[in-house]
């Protein structure tokens, strides 16, 4: 019983800041080493929580200072890894050649190399692995990953993955992206077993594609995703042959589960699942599945709009369905806007959980990939790059905004929206004819991030926005801040509404405010995708990204400045090319490469707001002429990009370009 409470994540999330704030790192490390001897799992869990609350721990060297490195090397190496002391873990293992004495140390060595972005060294560890049979499923999985990274022995990697899954059934779960946030417990389906080792390769390639991006080696990801799509193509052909054979004979010709079971036709896909799809008018061969990662963040839901536009342009074919879990949907109302083109299937709500589970398993054969896109020509690109190109072609054709049209139709059919809006505006003191701007700042509260870790480098300080807010209110407008209820509180200012922390918040009102604002001030975060799909003029500030962006011609943006230790700025060409494009993924990767980010200054935020205000009024040309040199600046900008559609159809702030041209547009 006590273990359940000690290992409870919610408990540590509450107690962590208090407990860990007063314990010095070296003292905590020594205490955890002692604890490891009696309870390794508890020691490991506490170490991981500690590293979350103290991200700066990774910048220190601990192993030379402890007396336990010789008497308890396994504990020391393991805890150094859990504390994200990857360099120290490597130093300890290599100092005593421990990787040659125990496969456990080799496992930790390869994982430490990987987390530092030394993918080639991690892959080389596969050569040192003993040929003896492994019994630890997670070591088997790691070795398989190393082999796939090396691009060798795919068949051996597949058998290792199968062996690991047979020991841990949860490893049979289909995987495309970590943002799915699936619970650990999982009961495999017959479809999972039929997919076998090839299906597990599909999962592994998707996982490695994302993880290489996380560690700053995203140049490897497209190759890995392409391998996942290759596996999917093979699986789909094998599955359809199996289904055809089953249908013609009434019997599964080969065993489905671990080589031990066979059955009738519905042993692969149940009669209930087939009948459910038939009710939707979908044949199995036409099925295209959007798994749960498309629904867990509001920006991901906005990406569905772009995916469906791709279908409208003939980039892919089939009948899509969207899978969702009721407790993990970012915005149920936004998701419902796609229901006419792609039915939204919510487990246990409008579809039986067992049928939903079968469809989730079928994503290995019929899933639309969340991170990669295969064009009709069979060329594979990163999904965001394809989406950015889509924006260019879509707007060149003069097409509209399907998601906006669906929202307007929904709102027109209910009087509830008008009542909510009128009540809120009256409470805020807004008159009926007053216009407003929506503001969203990315902050650490939504994901519980700690400064210096993860994606905190994408956050910014509200103080640099105050001059822009004053400009809007001086023009007679209002500013309404969107976001989460725990977002930082804004200073009290006239005509500034902190809607994010108010009782009026709702999914419907969030979308209504975005849809009807004069323009939107945002950044590289999920709400921007929604604003763009609604066709709202947008001023995006403090942007930093490894991904190509799904931005339209109503977007103007400014980027954070990336500075090196010598004071040099990383240029735009470098930021859109390997390796620097991938080095801005996280705070840790930036720090490892000696780079720091500089937020946009108050004058840069103010000027882009002025430009987008002019854009929203249809008077941007006057703003450009007043600033001067716009054509030359934009020409230099276009020439500096690694590929022209990296930012979709958007253009940068003219003021920002003029201010930074000498160093940024080299």
Instruction: Dump pLDDT digits (tens) for 313-325.
Output: 999 999 999 999 9
Angle 252-253-257 (CA atoms, 0-180°, nearest 5)?
65
pLDDT at 403 over 90: yes
Task: Report the run of H or E that residue 7 belongs to, with start and end.
Answer: none
51 vs 53: CA distance, rounded Å: 5
pLDDT at 263 over 70: no
Q: Contact 361/191 with Cβ under 8 angstroms? A: yes
Integer-rounded Cα radius of gyration of the chain: 26
Sign of CA dihedral 389, 395, 398, 403: positive
Interval 105-114 mean pLDDT: 95
570 vs 544: CA distance, rounded Å: 12
Residue 403, CA distances (Å) to 151, 340, 406, 515, 528 in order: 41, 11, 5, 11, 14
Q: Which two tokens stand for residue 31?
A: 């205490």
More confident residue, 447 or 21: 21
pLDDT at 516 over 50: yes
pLDDT at 86 over 80: yes
Stretch(es) of the chain classified as CATH 3.40.50.2000: 423-664
Residue 132, CA distances (Å) to 98, 99, 128, 156, 304 in order: 18, 15, 12, 13, 46
What is the length of the chain? 666
Relative orientation angle of helices 630-640 and 654-664, to the nearest 10 degrees: 50
User: Which residues neighbour 396 within 8 Å (Cβ) at sequence distance 6 or greater?
Assistant: none
Q: Which two tokens stand for residue 325?
A: 């879990």
In this structure, whether the domain defined by 2-166+197-208 belongs to CATH 1.10.287 is answered with: no
Torsion of CA 310, 181, 225, 648, to 10 degrees: 40
Interval 322-331 mean pLDDT: 95
Task: Report the run of H or E that residue 496 belongs to, with start and end.
Answer: strand 496-497
At 452 the pLDDT is 58
pLDDT at 3 over 50: no
478 vs 495: CA distance, rounded Å: 5
More confident residue, 247 or 509: 509
In 507-647, which ranges are E strands? Answer: 520-522, 538-543, 555-559, 561-563, 596-598
At 101 the pLDDT is 83
User: Which residues neighbour 431 within 8 Å (Cβ) at sequence distance 6 or greater?
Assistant: none
At 662 the pLDDT is 84
Q: Contact 309/648 with Cβ under 8 angstroms? A: no
Q: Rounded to a whole number, what is the largest CA-CA distance in the chain?
A: 77
Residue with tokens 């279908």: 311
Residue 362 confidence class, pLDDT cut points 50, 70, 90: very high
pLDDT at 637 over 70: yes
**Nearest partner of 92 among 142, 216, 40, 102, judged by Cα:** 102
- Per DSSP, the three-state class of 316 is coil
Q: Which CATH architecture has domain 423-664?
A: 3-Layer(aba) Sandwich (3.40)
Q: Contact 519/537 with Cβ under 8 angstroms? A: yes
Question: 0.75 exceeded by the pTM?
Answer: yes
403 vs 53: CA distance, rounded Å: 40
**Of 102-106, 113-117, 136-140, 240-244, where does mean pLDDT reach its minimum?**
240-244
Stretch(es) of the chain classified as CATH 1.25.40: 2-166+197-208
What would the DSSP string read from start to end of 143-183?
Answer: HHHHHHHHT--HHHHHHHHHHHHHH-GGGGS--S-GGG---
**Nearest partner of 366 among 233, 182, 176, judged by Cα:** 233
At 19 the pLDDT is 60
At 53 the pLDDT is 64
Task: Report the run of H or E that residue 438 belongs to, with start and end.
Answer: strand 436-439
pLDDT at 448 over 90: no
**Nearest partner of 232 among 189, 201, 274, judged by Cα:** 201
Q: Which two tokens stand for residue 67?
A: 């007396």
98 vs 104: CA distance, rounded Å: 9
Q: Contact 399/533 with Cβ under 8 angstroms? A: no
Task: Report the run of H or E that residue 397 belongs to, with start and end.
Answer: none
Interval 424-443 mean pLDDT: 90
- Start-to-end CA distance of the chain, whole Å, equals 62
Q: Other CB atoms closer than 10 Å to residue 333's CB: what's the count?
A: 17
Residue 451, CA distances (Å) to 94, 146, 523 in order: 31, 31, 18
Q: Other CB atoms closer than 10 Å to residue 564's CB: what's the count?
A: 13
pLDDT per position as a tens digit, 172-214: 999 999 999 998 899 999 999 999 999 999 999 999 999 999 9
644 vs 632: CA distance, rounded Å: 16
**Nearest partner of 501 among 479, 484, 526, 517, judged by Cα:** 484
- Per DSSP, the three-state class of 526 is helix
Q: Contact 190/168 with Cβ under 8 angstroms? A: no
**Nearest partner of 68 among 42, 35, 103, judged by Cα:** 35
């Amino acid at each position: 019983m006590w273990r359940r409470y000690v290992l409870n994540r919610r408990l540590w999330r509450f107690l962590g800041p208090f407990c860990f704030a007063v314990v010095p790192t070296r003292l905590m490390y020594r205490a955890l080493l002692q604890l490891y001897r009696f309870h390794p799992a508890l020691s490991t869990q506490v170490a991981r929580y500690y590293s979350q609350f103290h991200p700066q721990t990774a910048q220190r060297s601990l192993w030379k200072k402890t007396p336990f490195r010789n008497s308890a090397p396994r504990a020391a190496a393991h805890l150094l890894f859990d504390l994200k002391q990857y360099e120290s873990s490597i130093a300890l293992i290599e100092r005593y050649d421990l990787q040659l004495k125990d496969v456990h140390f080799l496992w930790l060595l390869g994982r430490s190399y990987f987390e530092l972005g030394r993918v080639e060294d991690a892959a080389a560890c596969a050569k040192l692995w003993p040929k003896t049979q492994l019994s630890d499923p997670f070591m088997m999985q790691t070795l398989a990953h190393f082999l796939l990274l090396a691009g060798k022995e795919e068949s051996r990697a597949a058998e290792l993955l199968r062996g690991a899954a047979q020991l841990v059934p949860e490893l049979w779960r289909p995987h495309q992206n970590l943002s799915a946030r699936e619970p650990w417990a999982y009961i495999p389906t017959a479809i999972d077993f039929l997919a076998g080792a090839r299906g597990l390769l599909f999962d592994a390639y998707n996982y490695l594609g994302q993880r290489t991006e996380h560690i700053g080696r995203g140049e490897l990801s497209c190759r890995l995703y392409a391998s996942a799509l290759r596996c999917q193509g093979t699986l789909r052909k094998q599955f359809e042959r199996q289904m055809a054979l089953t249908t013609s004979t009434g019997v599964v010709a080969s065993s489905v589960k671990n080589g031990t079971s066979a059955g009738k036709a519905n042993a692969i896909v149940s009669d209930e699942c087939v009948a459910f799809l038939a009710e939707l008018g979908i044949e199995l061969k036409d099925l295209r599945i959007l798994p749960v990662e498309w629904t867990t963040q509001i920006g991901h839901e906005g990406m569905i709009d772009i995916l469906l536009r791709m279908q409208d342009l003939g980039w892919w074919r089939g009948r899509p369905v969207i899978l969702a879990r009721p407790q993990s949907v970012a915005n149920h109302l936004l998701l419902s806007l796609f229901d006419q083109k792609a039915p939204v299937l919510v487990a246990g709500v409008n579809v039986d959980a067992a049928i939903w589970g079968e469809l989730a398993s079928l994503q290995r054969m019929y899933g639309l990939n969340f991170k990669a896109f295969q064009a009709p020509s069979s060329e594979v690109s990163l999904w965001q790059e394809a989406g950015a190109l889509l924006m260019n072609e879509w707007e060149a054709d003069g097409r509209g905004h399907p998601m906006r049209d669906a929202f307007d139709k929904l709102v027109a059919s209910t009087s509830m929206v008008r009542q909510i809006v009128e009540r809120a505006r009256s409470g805020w003191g807004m008159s009926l004819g007053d216009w407003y701007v929506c503001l969203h700042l990315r902050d650490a509260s939504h994901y519980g991030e700690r400064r210096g870790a993860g994606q905190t480098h994408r956050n910014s300080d509200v103080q640099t926005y105050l001059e822009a807010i004053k400009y809007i209110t001086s023009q007679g407008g209002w500013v309404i801040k969107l976001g989460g209820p725990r977002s930082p509180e804004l200073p009290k200012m006239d005509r500034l509404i902190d809607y994010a922390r108010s009782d009026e918040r709702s999914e419907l009102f969030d979308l209504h405010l975005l849809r009807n604002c004069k323009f939107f001030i945002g950044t590289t975060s999920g709400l921007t995708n929604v604003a763009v799909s609604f066709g709202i003029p947008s001023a995006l500030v403090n942007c930093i990204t490894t991904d190509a962006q799904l931005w339209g011609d109503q977007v103007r943006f400014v980027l954070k400045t990336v500075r090196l230790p010598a004071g040099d700025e990383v240029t735009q060409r470098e930021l859109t090319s390997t390796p620097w494009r991938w080095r801005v993924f996280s705070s840790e990767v930036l720090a490892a490469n000696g780079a720091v980010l500089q937020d946009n200054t108050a004058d840069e935020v103010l000027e882009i707001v002025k430009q987008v205000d002019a854009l929203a009024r249809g008077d941007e040309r006057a703003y450009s002429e007043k600033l001067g040199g716009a054509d030359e600046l934009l020409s230099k900008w276009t020439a500096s990009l690694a590929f022209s559609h990296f930012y979709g159809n958007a253009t940068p702030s003219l003021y920002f370009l003029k201010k930074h041209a000498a160093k940024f547009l080299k």
